[in-house]
Structure 1
Amino acid sequence: MVETVTSSFWWRWTQPHHHPRRWVPSVFTTHKAIITAVWIAFLVTVFWWQVDATAGILIFRRVFPAREVPKFRPVAFNLTDFGGVGDGVTVNTEAFEKAILAIAKLGKKGGGQLNVPPGYWLTAPFNLTSHMTLFLAEGAVILGIDDEKYWPLMPPLPSYGYGREHRGPRYGSLIHGQKLKDVIITGHNGTINGQGQAWWKKFRQKLLNHSRGPLVQIMWSTDILISNITLQDSPFWTLHPYDCKNVTIRNVTILAPIAGAPNTDGIDPDSCEDVLIENCYISVGDDGIAIKSGWDQYGIAYGRPSKNILIRNLVIRSNVSAGVSIGSEMSGGVSNVTVENLFIWNSRRAVRIKTAPGRGGYVRDITYKNLTFENVRVGIVIKTDYNEHADESFDPKAVPLLENISYTTIHGEGVRVPVQIHGSKEIWVRNVTFRDMSIGLTYKKKHIFQCAYVQGRVIGTIFPAPCKNLDLYDEQGHLIRRSDAQNATDIDYDI
């Protein structure tokens, strides 16, 4: 039973008959007083803070001050109007469905807003509707049922051919939407919690017969805004916009354990156009952000690129993968991406492009600027042998095109290898530019700036010294030395 702190406790301890001035000196003269003081401090803490629902049993719930909920739509409902109970035990799927059905009828009148009050709202997956705002109050937590039998099965994504982990259908997402327009998910930093622990355990034990589903997935939709919420412990990828246009993700916190939470990518724009991701904090068990556009022959056939994407002002930690990745599923193409003003810390890799023969497609016109790395194993990675394929029907001659990639104002410390550009005879990396780079190193081997089959240039002086594959220019853009060894290989495969 969740209890709420009342003011009576504090009232009793602040009344004159307790004589605090006489009590304090006398008590603190004994060893028992120390124990008493510790217990009082503990009780104060417990009364005002709660144990996280995913880490243990709730003892007390923090009291949140009443905050006025902004009204984004002409009509607003509360989940409790439809029978919702936020006790963490009652299943609220029917309440969500009834509320969203009521909002669906208001589309021509500007739509409706569903307010989720403070509490723990257990639910199976449900679908959003157009012209809808889902607002999570401070202290509101939507909890996903962690038993897969309550999660619907859906057809495979057309650009992937089958479920990402198994052939055949895949599990849907906790919060889902298809062919929608004008959808907002926002709040006073309320939380959507997928309770992924059971999913991760079954995945490791190979007990799942279908691919896991994302926490939030919106498909074939336009005008999407997701802001001011926390997304936590997704079964699989956390936030997955698929073939969407005009998507804004702002002021979002995304959390999952940095180990033992497989494939919990933070944000995966997939075959999306006109995307803004800004002012977010991401700490997850896989890529912080992974830009995708389909897998091998299925992605080539679907033919929907990801393009016009701006990622800025983020703090990211990815202990087992990369802060920001492009690929490896990029067969529909990725272009016109800007990644700027990022701090990436305690991560295996900072920014990465990954692909392989069979992917087809392209990665081009990619700009990285003003990036800071701290305690990162490899800073900048371009990898062309990420040989994980949908099935054996891929065409090995479908090689991707990688070109027009620039890195400007890159700084950091505690980095083992600053750059590893691993082109190949089949997949050259062309027109790469480095300018204004200084990275503190922890690696003692010779080849700390590693290249293979890359063509490009360095403008001005950078640290560490670049590989010999690149042309050198001064700050004014005058050629100093042209490389005669663009296919030279200085790759340390043990990194």
Structure 2
Amino acid sequence: MQKKLLSLFAVIFLASFCSVYAGPWEDMAQLAQSIKQTSFPDKSFNVVKYGASEKNPSIKNTKAINAAIVACNKKGGGKVIVPKGVYVTGPITLLSNVNLCIEEGAELRFTTNYAEYLPTVLTRWEGLDCYNYHPLIYAFKATNIAITGKGIINGQGSNTAWWNWNGNKLFGYKDGEPSQKTTGRAALMKMSEENVPVEKRQMGEGNYLRAQLINFVQCNTAKIEGVTLQNSPFWVIHPLLTNDLTVRNVTIESLGPNSDGCDPESCKNVLIEGCTFDDGDDCIAIKSGRNNDGRRWNIPSENIIVRNCKMKAGHGGVVVGSEISGGYKNLYVENCEMDSPELDRIIRIKSNTCRGGVVENVFARNVKVGQCKEAVLKIDLQYEPNEPCKRGYVPVVRNVNLENVTCQQSNYGVSIDGLEDANCVNNINLKNCDFRGVKYNSNDIKGAVNVNFENVRINNTIISSKKISTVFSPLTK
């Protein structure tokens, strides 16, 4: 009798548990509801009343737009309106309780007079802490901020020195010209490796490290909605150490070097939905600092939702890394469409033994892919193998799950380049996936364990879970 009661209690407990916890997608739904949303007083501040004009040079419009923001902030917040017209401006600083509204037919066109983006401000550049050129739109330790409207924010990176500074001839660079490759990038990496105090890492004039289009640093409760973002000098949207962020119905058109679409870095509780990405680099790249700087802060990115988005060109659709030293957990990707001959990968995770980091709990479902170049799922722990840094920080990737993902053309279905310790890549699961037009008719998996396939087809052939190859790159030995 006692055994029967215990069995009954066990059944009731399990039934109760299962009814309460519906899995990761229920977690995602609860997360989406919990993300704090912006709210502003019903007050408006038109930049024209503060001196902004289509006829004004950038310096005058810069002062006028920032003056409207300051006035809005001092009066308790509200909406700063940029009305129809083209306004050339320099850097803008967003303050708490301000909604910068770019109305339909309006364009903020940022100057290419680089001196106007000085003095430098505190930011990160490719995961490294520094003082650099003022981002085109910047916020520091602000709360309840937004950029909204149906207008255009044009960074004018195209065919200017911003893109030339990358050092790539595809973007106008000529031999003998200065670039980030020969100056600031290497210098900043060296400072990080040597733990030089951040206040001494002044990377402005003469270092050629390009500015972000939008950079929110240590902010809370933020929104970017409806706007079109074009031709960023560098990363397009870069939230850093910022929590409770919504990016909704944004169109990104920036095919320049390192034109990542949206890069949440050491951010928590982020919703990216209804956006369209057409980028020169990763469409979405989740980060948490690079090498010593990432480990010093030790703040992971976590709880990020990507849904109902469209990805066109880019190195990756939704990416974790490569500056991921602080780690990452809990990514949800659903109901996205990705398709371009210039899109390299769909879900990508990248790190190396300089950066380390633990990446876990990645969930993707109902993703429809036309074509991509390399692979639907790419895990690369051999990224940038020649990076000059102290090694020995072993990255870990675990609990990655793809369900109902289809693709019409790629080189591979799954490509994994792990480390000699195969346990670094563990528990990779694909279910009900259909990959057609796979050039090499296979997966390419090295250095991983517990890679499981359930009803996965490659070129209409069911792929079973097989023992994973243990062929490793010499770089890991």
Task: Indicate yes or no: 2:231 matched with 1:256.
Answer: no
Q: Deviation of residue 330 (structure 1)?
A: 0.5
Contact 2:127 2:287 in 1 (8 A): no
Paired residues for 1:382-397 under 5 Å: 382-387=379-384, 391-392=388-389, 394=390, 396-397=391-392
d(CA) in 1 for partners of 2:362, 2:235: 23
1:381 aligns with 2:378: yes
Q: TM-score, normalised by structure 1?
A: 0.75
* Gaps in structure 1 of 5+ consecutive residues: 1-70, 164-168, 473-482
| Distance in 2, Cα, partners of 1:178 & 1:136 | 21
Change (3 A) 1:78 1:136: same
Please state how far the C-alpha of 1:150 moved relative to its aligned partner: 1.2
With 85-94 and 345-354 compared, the bigger mean Cα shift is at 85-94
Matched with 1:488 is 470
- Decide whether the 8 Å contact of 1:86 with 1:119 is kept in 2: yes
User: Is this contact kept in 1: 2:357–2:395, CA < 8 A?
Assistant: yes
> RMSD in angstroms over aligned alpha carbons?
2.4
Letter of the 1:242 counterpart: L
Offset, 1:455: 1.7
Q: In the TM superposition, what whole-angstrom CA distance separates every residue of 1:248-291 from its partner, at most 9, and x where no partner exists?
A: 0001000013xxx1000000000000000000001010000000
Tell me what 1:365 maps to. Answer: 361
Q: Which has the higher contact order (CA 8 A, sep 6+)?
A: 2
**Deviations along 1:317-365, whole A, 9 cap, x unmatched?**
124x111110000000100111111111111222210011121221001
Identity %: 30
**Which residue of structure 1 lines up, in the alignment, with residue 153 of structure 2?**
192
Partner SS state of residue 233, structure 2? coil
Query: What SS does the corresponding residue of 2:294 show, helix, strand or coil?
Result: helix
Q: 1:438-483: per-residue Cα shift (whole Å, max 9, x none)?
A: 111151x46x211112122435321118999x974xxxxxxxxxx5
Q: 1:73·1:133 contact (CA, 8 Å) conserved in 2?
A: no
Residue identity opposite 1:98 in structure 2: A
Are 1:101 and 2:70 an aligned pair?
A: yes
User: Is the 8 Å Cα contact of residues 40 and 97 (structure 2) preserved in structure 1?
Assistant: no
1:74 corresponds, among 27, 39, 42, to 42
Q: How does 1:203-352 map to 2 (within 5 A)?
A: 203-204=166-167, 205=173, 206-208=177-179, 209-257=207-255, 261-319=256-314, 321-346=315-340, 347-352=343-348
Amino acid at match of 1:194: G
Q: 2-side partners of 1:154 and 1:391: how far apart?
A: 26
What does 1:2-41 correspond to in 2, within 5 Å? none
1:159-209, Cα deviation, whole Å (9 max, x unpaired): 94456xxxxx4222100000010011111x101110002111233235342
Relative distance call for 1:160 and 1:460 in structure 2 (3 A) is closer
- Give yes or no for contact 2:406–2:435 (8 Å, CA) kept in 1: yes
Counterpart check, 1:414 vs 2:409: yes
Distance 1:459 1:487, change over 3 A: closer
For 2:54, the aligned partner's letter is: G
Q: Whole-Å Cα distance in 2 between the matches of residues 298 and 390 of structure 1?
A: 15
Distance 2:217 2:225 in 1: 18
- Offset at residue 490 of structure 1 (A): 9.7
Q: Relative to structure 1, is the Cα distance of residues 399 and 325 closer, same or farther in structure 2, using a 3 angstrom cutoff?
A: same
Query: Unpaired runs of 5+ in structure 2?
Result: 1-38, 168-172, 180-206
Q: What is the count of residue pairs matched by the alignment?
A: 392
Output the amino acid matched with 2:432: D
Following the alignment from structure 2 to structure 1, what is the Cα–Cα distance between the partners of residues 258 and 126? 19
User: Which position in structure 2 is the counterpart of 1:437?
Assistant: 433
Residues 398-409 of structure 1: matches in 2 within 5 Å?
Answer: 398-409=393-404
Amino acid at match of 1:488: T
SS of structure 1 residue aligned to 2:208? coil
Over 3 Å counting, the alpha-carbon distance change for 1:438 and 1:123 in structure 2 is same
Based on CA coordinates, which of the two structures has the bigger radius of gyration? 1
Q: What pairs with 1:53-68 in structure 2 (closer than 5 Å)?
A: none
Of the structure 1 ranges 330-339 and 459-468, higher mean CA displacement relative to structure 2 is found in 459-468
Structure 1 residue aligned with 2:201: none
Q: Residues 360-405 of structure 1, C-alpha deviation per residue, up to 9 Å, x if partnerless?
A: 221001111111111211221000111368753x3x1111111111
Superimposed CA distance per residue, residues 205-238 of structure 1 (whole angstroms, 9 cap, x where no aligned partner): 3534231110000010100011011111100000
Q: Retained in 2: the 8 A contact 1:160–1:390?
A: no
8 Å contact from structure 1 (residues 421, 451) kept in 2: yes
Amino acid at match of 1:267: C
Cα distance in 2, alignment partners of residues 352 and 158 from structure 1: 21
CA distance in 2: counterparts of 1:256 and 1:349, whole angstroms: 18
Q: How far apart, in 2, do the equivalents of 1:232 and 1:297 lie?
A: 32
Give the 5 Å matches for 1:40-55. Answer: none
Aligned with residue 447 of structure 2, among 442, 453, 478: 453
TM-score when scaled to structure 2? 0.77
- Residues 313 and 176 from structure 1, CA distance in 2 versus in 1: closer, same or farther, beyond 3 angstroms? same
Q: Distance in 2 between matches of 1:158 and 1:300?
A: 16
Which residue of 147, 156, 165 maps to 1:202? Answer: 165
Post-superposition CA distance 1:399-448 (Å, at most 9, x none):
111111111111011222221011121462101101001111151x46x2
